[in-house]
Amino acid sequence: MRATLDGKVAVVTGAANGIGLAAALRLASDQADVAMLDLDSAALAISADVVRGSGRRVLPIALDCTDASSIALAFVRIREELGRVDILLNNVGQSARERMSAFSESDLGTLDFMLAINLKSCILCSRQVTDDMRERRRGKIINIASESAVNGSPRCWDYSAAKAGVIGFTRALARELAPFGINVNAIGPGPVRTRALDQLPKAVLDTVIADIPMARVGEPDEIANAVAFFASDQSDYITGQTLLVNGGHWML
């Protein structure tokens, strides 16, 4: 039985495509109003129209989720137009992609971008909702980490480090906010069919799939299912946890 989020306000970062869009659609279908944040304004406008098909209020905001002032202004607008935030999904992030390299050959300048997009954005957005959540003694913060944080994916040392930071931040914030009835959890996706994965050569993708016990990559909707669970009251006694959704690719 699906939980209802009727009357709740959710914020999804990196919402224009992939996991973010799937999560926004799922939260709206569970009756939440959704603010969708993304840097890609054109894709965001199209995706927001899709989510509006659920019949819920949708507020798209194009911005850089690593910029503190832009984030602060966005959350002022969200509170004014939708109300105080009940659910925050910190989804924005990416690997180094074409800049991936072995540590000994790496450009350390890439590290700044990895930490900003994957970890700093998560911290900045969380800071915008915690005061309201503490005051009301309820709220859900969900952070998208990665299985790379626990398996140390090859040539992804910077991404693995940043996502491990997300898990550490999740645990520390969960412990701090638990007395106020606020749940903070993380989801660690394995390989998921997104634009980045679709750009991999078939031979590389076949190698990835061969290492997954379930013999396939995940779908964005399957990550969105985990988001919906953590967003609902069904997860009220769960906090500080990281759920790997990866077809058994890495098992803790």
Report, as residue numbers or ranges, the catalytic residues. 159
Say how far apart CA 149 and CA 152 lie, in whole Å.
Answer: 6
Work out the end-to-end distance of the chain between its first and last CA atoms, rounded to an integer number of angstroms: 28
DSSP symbols for 156-188: -HHHHHHHHHHHHHHHHHHHHHGGGTEEEEEEE
Q: Which two three-digit tokens encode residue 20?
A: 């973010």
Q: Residues with Cβ < 8 Å from 126, sequence gap 6 or more?
A: 88, 90, 141, 143, 169, 173
